Structure 1
Amino acid sequence: MISNEGSLIDRRQTQIDAVDMHTVGIGGDSLVRLSRSGQLSVGPLRIQPLAMAQGIPDPASWIGEENRSRWIINVNSNERDQSAALDPVVAHLLREKGATPADMIARLGMSDFGLDRRLEELAFNNKISAVGFTPTDALHVLGKSQLGDAAASIAGARILADLRGETIEAFCSAVLEATHRKIADAILAYTFSKQTGKSIKAFSTDDQGILLFSCNFKLDVPIVGVGAAARHLLPKVANRLHTEAIFPSHFEVGNALGAIMIALNDERQK
């Protein structure tokens, strides 16, 4: 679909004809986080899966709830340039193998919000990256993906599952279920808004006390999957929405190909 009002970038409408696009922070590389009560959430923060990370400590030695869900590492391999590349207050904590936000808060005496803002800026400028448990790791634990180091995924899942008092299989199934639900909800909210001009929140039956009725929606168009995790995530999303998932040829590398083409186009313009 084409939007005459243009794409919405942050809070600004471009007012230039463009593909009608709506993005949601959920996918194979979304951060899985546990609250202190054991409540599970997926996304919107994007990180590197444990299965794909290299040179980090054993996840069992650091992963946990809240601010122990991520391992922050310095992406600048040149130690002499590290102080210039990173915020100097953070640089010394990442000089060796990295740290969790919880470690950094304790050492720096900062608030959660203050540290998150600082880490967000450093990540945006490609000075740091983060590693943690993701839906991709859940797929590795359950034997549905073999792209990386399943042992790292299992080590992280074991700790997080223990915090919730369940088996690693049950924990990983809950991660994937939460991912399926969030993707399906995003698609449904977008399509409902496009067709009716209204928010689907009016149909929410959450936290309303006694349930008097329920709604069931059917998507009348297929879902097209692109990306390595799509094959494992979208079929159940399609089932939720009573439609089908379509996977084009070479869908696994579609995102990578798009990124390369953008980079090549940028080089030509230079």
Structure 2
Amino acid sequence: MSSPHCVIGIDTGGTYTDAIALDRSSGRVLAGVKTPTTPHDPARAIARSLENVLLASGLDPQKVELVTVSTTLATNALVEDKGAEVGLFVIGHDKRLRIPAADMRFIPGGHKARGVESEPLGMDFLIQGIAAMKGHVDAYAVCAMLAFEDPTHELVAAKAIELMDPRPVFCSHQASTRPGMEERAATAVLNARLLPVMQDFLRSIALSMQRLGLSCPVRIVRGDCQSMDLQDAVRNSSATVASGPAATALFGVHAAKGETALVVDVGGTTTDITLIKDGLPVVREEGMTIGSWRTHVRAVEMYTVGIGGDSLARVENGGLSLGPARVVPLSQIHLHLDGAALETMTRPEDWLGADLCAQCVQLAPGTEPKDDRVLRWLAEHGPATPVRLRQELGLAESSLEKTIARLQAAKQVITCGFTPTDALHVLGRLRLGDARPAMDGARVLAALLRLAPEAFCEHVLEKAHATIAATILTALGNREVGPALARFFNHSGPNELLDITVRVRPRIIGIGAAAPFLLPAVAARLGTDAIFPEHYEVGNALGAALMDTITKE
């Protein structure tokens, strides 16, 4: 029996990279796999996912018609401050712009309405600026006044840069056709900044596909639920910033079947919420805000809260806090460490709560300390809390946090702690790991609050439910009635004059392996239902695989 023609959908999350093999003719899912994400090299996890899904489905690579990828690469690059150092030329606008470019120069020129030149392009100023930036920046961005009506000055500036410094150049008219100088400049800088990161990523995917015998086209999911080929992804990288939430929305469209619904993706690090209205994703046409940058990047309307299955639970000042930090759950340590390291790491009573700390840093197996102070200290002394590392190494808290984040991304250290995943193991609701270290951790933290371990675990889950529910209420409240009235929705104490009860009308569509363990209680709080359609565990990958089918309907 010959293999059906199919599409492979891939979604890279913070914890897992999911892959789906979908038979296009019947709509049948042939296989779905989850592969641990490799944050320091996302393309490596994609290569493993492709290999695993081909094996699981038994597909002949030559029968695969398309690979569609939803990626968090652009988002992670911005969060981790990766990418090119960008020099920005602003033409015909001399007001201050709050854009984090490495260098910024204001040049005479630009256009008025109907493409009338405001003044000639200041070539002398431009050439001086290029000479000053050369050797100090990795890429250039150009934004001219009203370039979306007449891009001549941007094109001339780009050609001058090309002749003087053969570095990548991105012009604002390539990504924006609307007014708003700051938004267009920010969009141009984002694209220039992400250019080398995206080039390396897509080159790695192409090599992996070649090795596996896959010769089909590859398309990347854009934040507005459309797709683009690899060349467009390089030229317009900023369009992929909301790629993950777009795949969430596409799965929601498939599952909602014409209804209005909330799609809630519970990951390891965050919970992402998107809205499906009358069976269609809601897209922000005016452009999304990325951190402090207002841009013209079209994207689905989305809301994110720093709560997931791997969020760190802390007991501080007699109270419980949850997230936004992500750690390896105690119940999952055996998946990350060998036997010797496991023995030193799974005694939470030795460190949990010490120095008012709820997490422990461990050298990852096989890591060579080399010249890094933190790695050398861990190699010599063993696991330690961040507080002890600060004391021993004399590092500032912010400096150590950045160092640990960098070492985590490179898989050189592992940071563990108690999480909602551990609470589910202690309560017997989840059996994906080893419940014994989770129970040890629950005992230590529960004692700090004078609770039984089981009651403490219920408290952790209740905190997660309340935070996700509050985010949904705030998002919908701000959207429908404005922030003033929305504040009443989450007011925990009684009000002397008003008693407001709110029910969410749309159903919740859950995505992610942890969703069934958290979202039913969230839905009950909101007076609605939660459903978990088939293949919800790899829903974003299915959304990516279905993208062309959904967008053509």
State the TM-score, normalizing by the size of structure 1.
0.83
For 2:289 and 2:303, the matched residues in 1 are separated by: 8
Offset at 1:69? 0.7
Offset at 1:110? 3.4
Structure 2 matches for 1:14-53, cutoff 5 A? 14-35=295-316, 37-53=317-333
For 1:126 and 1:20, the matched residues in 2 are separated by: 33
Partner of 2:288: 7
Q: Is contact 1:133–1:157 with CA below 8 Å preserved after alignment?
A: yes
Q: Is contact 2:367–2:412 with CA below 8 Å preserved after alignment?
A: no
For 1:183 and 1:129, the matched residues in 2 are separated by: 27
Give the aligned residue type for 1:77: G
Q: Residue 89 of structure 1: which of 364, 369, 373 is its match? A: 373
Q: Is contact 2:504–2:528 with CA below 8 Å preserved after alignment?
A: yes
Partner of 1:104: 389
Q: Is contact 2:489–2:501 with CA below 8 Å preserved after alignment?
A: no
Q: Is contact 1:6–1:20 with CA below 8 Å preserved after alignment?
A: no
The alpha-carbon distance between structure 1 residues 163 and 202, as it changes in their structure 2 partners (threshold 3 A), is: same
Structure 2 matches for 1:166-205, cutoff 5 A? 166-198=451-483, 200-201=486-487, 205=491
For 1:3 and 1:126, the matched residues in 2 are separated by: 36
2:314 partner SS: strand
For 2:409 and 2:500, the matched residues in 1 are separated by: 40
For 1:10 and 1:146, the matched residues in 2 are separated by: 37
Structure 1 residue ranges without an equivalent (≥5): 262-270
Q: Is contact 2:508–2:531 with CA below 8 Å preserved after alignment?
A: yes
Structure 2 residue ranges without an equivalent (≥5): 1-281, 335-341, 546-553
Larger Rg: 2
State the TM-score, normalizing by the size of structure 2.
0.43
Deviations 1:46-78 (A, max 9, x none): 111110113224222211167521111334724
The alpha-carbon distance between structure 1 residues 130 and 185, as it changes in their structure 2 partners (threshold 3 A), is: same
Partner of 2:188: none
Structure 2 matches for 1:236-255, cutoff 5 A? 236-254=521-539
Offset at 1:126? 4.9
1:83 partner SS: coil
Q: Is contact 2:489–2:502 with CA below 8 Å preserved after alignment?
A: no
Offset at 1:201? 2.6
Offset at 1:4? 0.8
2:415 partner SS: strand
Q: Is contact 1:141–1:153 with CA below 8 Å preserved after alignment?
A: yes
Partner of 2:430: 145
For 1:156 and 1:135, the matched residues in 2 are separated by: 12
Offset at 1:13? 3.1
Offset at 1:159? 0.4
* Aligned Cα root-mean-square deviation (Å): 2.6
The alpha-carbon distance between structure 1 residues 123 and 187, as it changes in their structure 2 partners (threshold 3 A), is: same
Does 2:424 correspond to 1:135?
A: no
Deviations 1:120-179 (A, max 9, x none): 344455543311100010011111111100001100000000111110011011001111
Identical positions, percent: 39
Give the aligned residue type for 2:304: T
Q: Which has the higher strand share?
A: 2
